[in-house]
Homo-oligomer: A and B are copies of this chain.
């Protein structure tokens, strides 16, 4: 491990890339736009998955699995959907390689061309609604509440590790309902699930809202979202939940017989979060020394580093270190005892800081004599000498404190970075000099939204839920407006 240090204040983007690589989270592969998620990064993703999966099941959802490939003809059935995704589709056209009889090289066998091309799923609404047609006949078959954990592919020209990659991992929920009300309620419920997960597990405060028409999912009636604010003042869309109306039911002829014996189209939702959340996690809490992980997601919550020089010191220090390790492990804490003796304590300290381990316990010969340990917390870098007898009840409490502190810090940062403006000049000043969310009046038209985006590089992140109604004038057009919306430059 050679750690190149880059400060956030110097170049946030370079700092991010460097951190992702040096903390062993992910790296670019030799396949354009595709990343390799390294074991430490994947362990964090697995913790996210477990927390999300539990919440999905508690709200009545089951997992299933649908094909990776989507026939082109399915993909084109919902007009706005294909518009949204056509430009970024990986297409399978052949199903065999062969040895070129002339050059002896391995080539794609021209005789093995598919009659119909297959799209590598960028999202699965089409293949799933094609399936629901045969699963749904009557109101008794509804609702269907499914989720899928899967890889998806969207051909991206400019990629960033975790934030925007050609292949990414995600979950996509796809539900079918008898009524509009029920589908809207599901859409909102899953938004709440995402917000709860983001705030209580990722420790990232989010704004819940609904997207403007321009920013909607291709095929949705309404797209709800949670938006986070990163340390560099840019917004990040962290999850979306779509009310799809009857669009996919109509495209795939999915009807059901109501209790009153009438034929009706089925109502749909879909919702997803992805490995992008890893980016949100990193850019919400980390510092110039490396990752800062919320204890609820940390693969290692506490690391114990024994300190000794002579062999006799090692024996007495390791005996205590092992006892504390067992003690904490018994309490269900994910604890690691780093007893490697080819590395210095200083090296280990830096490495666990880089990796964001929330609590470090150091113990040397003098600590053994005094019945103490040195406890350092990653978030504030505070150190304290703690009586070893206190470890058992103080460490779990400390982990909760760190979780809360990280969240509060991110919340304070965000609170300081929501700027209310009334003129174009104020708007541009806020974006350029203050960064963060800008709350401003907008005339509600796509044209104005588009113009603002061109002029300022800021997009409407969302119209917050329960947004106060307030008369005002659009910052660009001057037309009448009934509510403010949140703008930001975004990832």
Inter-chain contact B94/A29, CB cutoff 8 Å: no
Residue-wise, chain A 15-35 has the 8 Å CB interface mask toward B (1 for contact) of 000000000000001110011
Q: Answer whether residue A12 sits at the interface, using C-beta atoms and an 8 A cutoff.
A: no
A92–chain B nearest beta-carbon distance, Å: 5
Bound CA span A131–B150, Å = 22
Inter-chain contact A96/B106, CB cutoff 8 Å: no
Inter-chain contact A89/B96, CB cutoff 8 Å: yes
Q: Answer whether residue A373 sits at the interface, using C-beta atoms and an 8 A cutoff.
A: no
Inter-chain contact B127/A29, CB cutoff 8 Å: yes
A118–chain B nearest beta-carbon distance, Å: 7
A132–chain B nearest beta-carbon distance, Å: 11
Bound CA span A118–B70, Å = 17
Inter-chain contact A96/B92, CB cutoff 8 Å: no
Chain B residues with CB under 8 Å of A65's CB are 36-37, 42, 169
Chain B residues with CB under 8 Å of A480's CB are none
Inter-chain contact A31/B167, CB cutoff 8 Å: no
Question: Which of B38, B71, B93, B167 is within 8 Å of A68, CB to CB?
Answer: B167
Inter-chain contact A30/B146, CB cutoff 8 Å: no
Bound CA span A90–B153, Å = 15
Inter-chain contact B69/A98, CB cutoff 8 Å: no
Inter-chain contact B72/A97, CB cutoff 8 Å: yes
Flag the segment in A80-88, A345-353, A363-371, A399-407 that touches B: A80-88
Given contacts A63-B43, A66-B29, contact A117 B127 (CB under 8 A): no
For residue A155, which residue of chain B has the nearest CB?
B95
Bound CA span A29–B30, Å = 32
Inter-chain contact A36/B63, CB cutoff 8 Å: no
Inter-chain contact B76/A106, CB cutoff 8 Å: yes
Bound CA span A108–B116, Å = 11
Given contacts A62-B43, A86-B97, A167-B69, contact A130 B30 (CB under 8 A): yes
Inter-chain contact A46/B63, CB cutoff 8 Å: yes
Inter-chain contact A39/B68, CB cutoff 8 Å: no
For residue A85, which residue of chain B has the nearest CB?
B97
For residue A67, which residue of chain B has the nearest CB?
B34
Bound CA span A63–B40, Å = 9
Chain B residues with CB under 8 Å of A105's CB are 76
Bound CA span A76–B98, Å = 11
Q: Answer whether residue A120 sits at the interface, using C-beta atoms and an 8 A cutoff.
A: yes
For residue A150, which residue of chain B has the nearest CB?
B151
Inter-chain contact A29/B131, CB cutoff 8 Å: yes
A166–chain B nearest beta-carbon distance, Å: 8
Inter-chain contact A39/B71, CB cutoff 8 Å: no
Q: Answer whether residue A74 sits at the interface, using C-beta atoms and an 8 A cutoff.
A: yes
Q: Answer whether residue A455 sits at the interface, using C-beta atoms and an 8 A cutoff.
A: no
Besides A31-B69, A46-B63, A86-B106, 13 more A-B contacts (Cβ < 8 Å) are A30-B127, A31-B67, A31-B127, A36-B66, A37-B65, A65-B169, A68-B153, A72-B97, A86-B98, A91-B95, A91-B108, A93-B94, A151-B151
